[in-house]
């Protein structure tokens, strides 16, 4: 079980967690942003004063073999051993890449995740998935390698802009949809027009708990963990499309748009009720806008979705919903139906 620590005092909890894990040397992985804005919140702690720091470029476009190689090179050049400890301080890009670096260096060293974004807290840092992008495909290379602990503190979220908050919130919408009607109703009622940090904090930890319970039942995604893929098959496709087009989008935004299309597939294939589909689509359209697509892009998108690692042969696999809380894993959709889902997405967002 991966311990998840809800922290009101991140510096104290990070220090305590580091001291609880036997290690010879500590290394801290940050990106250019978390080096400036987040590390100072922890740097006064005794364990971090002598830590080696590795700073990588920020942004998902840098979640690459080249950046991974720089992390390995720094560890090797600065005396890291298989008994060293890596602290990943950052958003999903840092915890994904840092986790994979930990999984592969010396065949595996221990690591701690301290997510500094809402998206990282509710998604990437929890559950043990690590990886990097490759050849334009999201998370093409990676492994399951849980951290020793995940320390989540809303102190790090205070400087996030609305885009970063909404990116994380998309994963919370997904967790609510796969859990229950009550969770779904509450998540769609959050008033983004006026800040309610305490309510948001409560929703965040409820969302993390939903993911944690699923991961504990199926750590390596053989069965029910596939529920967490809802919205991601087409979401990753949208994200890869935007990235290769030179206009990257936030991961959560791509997932939100993916959920529009996959809710339509859920309605067509599994009977997901229209009275829940439409309010969800309206919420996403209002808060997330749209990724611009035309029907001329469908073949490119289809080739990308075929490459998704969940697929076998020509069968495009989706996690769909029969209703809120009614998850249907390993559903398949043919090419024409996927094109119809893309039509629905374009109509829904006004393209």
Q: What pLDDT score does 103 carry?
A: 98
Report the mean per-residue pLDDT for the chain: 94
Backbone angles phi, psi at 273, to 5 degrees: -65, 135
Q: What percent of the chain has pLDDT over 90?
A: 86
pTM confidence score: 0.89
Asked which of 159, 174, 192 is the last residue of a domain, the reply is 159
| Domain termination site, one of 134, 159, 184 | 159
What pLDDT score does 193 carry? 80
Q: Residue 271: its pLDDT value, please?
A: 98
pLDDT-derived band at 314, boundaries 50, 70, 90: low
pLDDT band, very low/low/confident/very high, at 14 (cuts 50, 70, 90): very high
The pLDDT of 217-239, averaged and rounded, is: 95
Domain end among 111, 135, 159 = 159
For residue 333, give both structure tokens.
Answer: 């959709």
pLDDT of residue 81: 98
List Cβ neighbours of 75 (8 Å cut-off, separation of 6 or more). Answer: 27, 54, 84, 86, 101, 105
Average pLDDT, integer, range 99-104:
98
Residue with tokens 């510096």: 11
pLDDT at 206: 93
Range of the domain at 98: 4-159
Do 112 and 191 reside in the same domain of the chain? no
Residues 116 and 166 in one domain: no
Give the model confidence (pLDDT) of 244-288 as tens digits. Answer: 999 999 999 999 999 999 999 999 999 999 999 999 999 999 999
Which run of H or E residues covers position 259?
helix 251-270
Whether residue 209 sits in one domain with residue 128 = no
Residues 120 and 185 in one domain: no
Q: What span, in angstroms and rounded, lies between the C-alpha atoms of 25 and 154?
A: 28
Check residue 201 and give its pLDDT.
83
pLDDT at 137: 86
Specify whether 222 is located in the same domain as 340.
yes
Do 235 and 169 share a structural domain? yes
Domain match, 195 and 333 both: yes
Indicate whether 119 and 209 sit together in one domain. Answer: no
Mean pLDDT over 68-76 rounds to 98
For residue 309, what pLDDT is reported?
66
pLDDT of residue 194: 78
Other beta carbons within 10 Å of 295: 11
| DSSP letter string, 173-239 | HHHHHHH-HHHHHHHHT--TTS--HHHHHHHHHHHHHHHHHHHHH-TTSSSGGGGGGTTHHHHHHHH
Least confident of 4-8, 199-203, 292-296, 305-309: 305-309
d(CA 56, CA 68): 9
Does residue 155 sit in the same domain as residue 169?
Answer: no
pLDDT: is 186 or 312 the higher one? Answer: 186
Angle, CA 63 vertex, CA 57 and CA 69 arms, to 5° = 80
The CATH number assigned to the domain holding 245 equals 1.20.1090.10
What's the CA gap between 214 and 221, in Å, rounded? Answer: 10
Average pLDDT over residues 201-224: 92
Q: What is the pLDDT of residue 312?
A: 66
pLDDT tens per residue, range 125-142 = 999 999 999 998 889 999
203 and 342 assigned to the same domain: yes
CATH of the domain at 29: 3.40.50.1970
On whether both 196 and 208 belong to a single domain, the answer is: yes
Q: Are residues 55 and 123 in the same domain?
A: yes
Provide the domain count of the chain. 2
List beta partners, residue 142.
131
Residue 117 has pLDDT above 90, yes or no: yes
Q: Per-residue confidence at 90, pLDDT binned at 50, 70, 90? A: very high
């Amino acid at each position: 079980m991966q311990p998840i620590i809800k922290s009101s005092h991140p510096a104290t909890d990070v220090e305590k967690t580091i001291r609880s894990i036997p290690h010879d040397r500590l290394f801290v992985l940050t990106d250019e942003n978390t080096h400036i804005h987040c590390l100072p919140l922890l740097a006064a702690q005794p364990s971090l004063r002598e830590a080696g720091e590795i700073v990588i470029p920020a942004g998902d476009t840098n979640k690459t073999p080249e950046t991974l190689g720089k992390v390995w090179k720094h560890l090797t050049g600065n005396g890291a051993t298989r008994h060293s400890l890596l602290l990943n301080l950052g958003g999903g890009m840092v915890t994904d890449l840092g986790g994979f670096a930990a999984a592969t260096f010396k065949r595996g060293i221990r690591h701690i995740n301290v997510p500094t974004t809402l998206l990282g807290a509710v998604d990437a840092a929890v559950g043990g998935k690590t990886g990097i992008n490759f050849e334009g495909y999201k998370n093409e290379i990676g492994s399951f390698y849980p951290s020793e602990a995940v320390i989540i503190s809303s102190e790090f979220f205070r400087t996030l802009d609305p885009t970063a908050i909404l990116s994380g919130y998309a994963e919370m919408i997904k967790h609510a949809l796969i859990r229950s009607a009550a969770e779904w109703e509450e998540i769609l009622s959050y008033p983004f027009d006026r800040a309610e940090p305490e309510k948001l904090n409560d929703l965040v930890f409820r969302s993390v708990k939903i993911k944690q319970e699923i991961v504990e039942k199926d750590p390596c995604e053989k069965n029910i963990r596939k529920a967490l893929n809802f919205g991601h098959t087409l979401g990753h496709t949208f994200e890869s499309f935007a990235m290769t087009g030179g206009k990257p989008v936030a991961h959560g935004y791509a997932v939100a748009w993916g959920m529009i299309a996959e809710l339509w597939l859920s309605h067509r294939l599994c009977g997901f009720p229209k009275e829940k589909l439409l309010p969800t689509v309206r919420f996403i359209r209002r808060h997330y806008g749209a990724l611009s697509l035309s029907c001329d892009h469908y073949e490119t998108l289809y080739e990308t979705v075929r490459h998704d690692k969940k697929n076998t042969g020509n069968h495009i696999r989706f996690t769909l919903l029969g209703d809120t809380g009614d998850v249907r894993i390993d559903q398949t959709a043919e090419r024409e139906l996927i094109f119809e889902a893309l039509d629905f997405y374009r109509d829904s967002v006004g393209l």
